[in-house]
Amino acid sequence: MSVPEKKLLLAAPRGFCAGVDRAIQIVEKTLEKYGAPVYVRHEIVHNRYVVENLEQKGAVFVDELNEVPKDAPVIFSAHGVAKSVPAEAESRQMFYIDATCPLVSKVHREAERHDKDGMELILIGHKGHPEVIGTMGQLEEGRISLVETVEDAASFEPRQPGAQLAYLTQTTLSVDETKDIVEKLREKFPDIASPKKEDICYATTNRQAAAKKLAEKCDGMLVIGAPNSSNSMRLVEVAKKNGCERVSLVQRAADIPWDLLEGCNVIGITAGASAPETLVEEVIEAFSKRFTVSIEEVVTSEENVTFKLPRVLEN
């Protein structure tokens, strides 16, 4: 009996970005330098496999600082935190290390600068996402207005009539949807100030471009990532909007919806910025056990970005 054939197209780039890689290294190196346990406020990145792996090495994930013993190191996640969090850590005389992605920190500094210049701020992002909570928490409550949709942008009115406006964006948004929101804001407020350099990070932009290319070539697609990962969810949306109807988010091989992919001969595989390559390999192996598989990588861009670790961990 012959084994059915499947062609797997792998998006490149996919998986870990420099900010995620740095955050995981920070936890691992803190464990090496100071020993277990090391506490981490919230998931270091949005991926259960990564979190569980770090837990096995001695990381303890908590929701708030009052769960951390005073003499233990605590790490803030890659998504960034409100200013009140390090302030609380300092008031408790805790030793903390900030693993905020440098590209998120850039948005925080932009918010401070615009506020200092007397501008009224709009943040384009998703309510409740840790990055949005952290960015809005850089200033006093009410200083930043959240806009989630084109409709929000159309109905937005400044707190002070005639105020000079500026917008920022969450780093993991849909490039296309954000473009539509920005266009609506510019149409309504022609003088609105924009970031000097795009806030949506290079990795989000590159992975969405790769997912678009893949979607045009596939009749089925898998996005490896977590349901609470903004960048992974955006990849699912991008794939569906660009010609691939059968798209599923899977956390790992056990989640593959074989029924959904029945009849699909060319299957695309990509991974969100917080999903390790190990999980991509696991999915490929699951296909190889069921089918005769050929693999092709679809390269849309090359990445060579790296971020330095905090000085305290460099020795």
Distances (CA, A) of 67 to 6, 53, 89, 304: 49, 21, 12, 37
Exposed/middle/buried for 187, CB within 10 Å: 0-12, 13-18, 19+? exposed
Question: Exactly one of 52, 131, 140, 198 is catalytic; which is it?
Answer: 131
Would you call 157 a catalytic residue per the annotation? Answer: no
CA distances from 152 to 48, 122, 172, 191, 231 (A): 33, 11, 19, 18, 21
CA distance 2 to 292: 9
Q: Is the peptide bond before 257 cis (omega within 30 degrees of 0)?
A: no
- Rounded to 10 degrees, the C-alpha dihedral 215/219/223/227 comes to 110
At what angle are helices 102-116 and 18-34 packed, to 10 degrees? 110
Beta strands in 170-288 (DSSP E): 220-224, 247-250, 266-271
Tell me the C-alpha distance between 257 and 79, whole Å: 30
Provide the 8-state DSSP code for 63: S
Residues marked as catalytic: 131
